Amino acid sequence: MQLNMTEQDDIVKISVEEERMDAHNSGDLKERMLQLFDEGKCSLIIDLSMVRFIDSSGLGALVSGFKNASAREGSLKLCCLQPQVRSMFELTRLHRVFEIFTNMDEALESF
């Protein structure tokens, strides 16, 4: 999975540069987030602007990151969801779990 990571004020911004997040590539994001947690970086924003499709494995990877960040008193937030990706969070009711922001600036300001 192609991930573009940048840091700003102890917050790691991860842009998922893939059209699809599915069972083929979502494990990569999960592993990368676990590495960040091991490095003590527990405040993450996942930018999903390039993701057109997400399945249950993609959602599961984000839930894993959310749980691990929360367990370390950090947080994982989402931004820039395309409408059909957003509909998946609503279908599975995960929009009640994640903080979802329209753009990156709003997500950054929320920390």
Partner 1 sequence: MSKRVEVEITVPNQTKYLGVIGRIGESMAYSLKSYNGNRRELAYHLNLVLTEALANAICHANNCDPDKDVKVSISASDQDLIIQVFDQGKGFDIEALAKLKAQAGDEGGRGIQIIFKLMDRVRYIQNDDRNVLEMTKYLN
Window 32 to 51, contacts with partner 1 (CB under 8 A) = none
| Shortest reach from residue 27's CB to partner 1, in Å | 9
Angle at 25 between CA 20 and CA 29, to 5 degrees: 100
| CB-CB contact of 71 with 48 (8 Å) | no
Nearest-angstrom CA–CA distance, 62 and 92: 13
Count of residues of this chain found to bind partner 1 when the rule CB under 8 A is applied: 23
- Note whether 92 binds partner 1 by CB under 8 A: yes
- Note whether 61 binds partner 1 by CB under 8 A: yes
**Longest alpha-carbon distance in the chain:** 34
Q: Which residues contact partner 1 (rule: CB under 8 A)?
A: 20, 22-24, 53, 55-57, 59-61, 63-64, 67, 84, 87-88, 91-94, 96-97
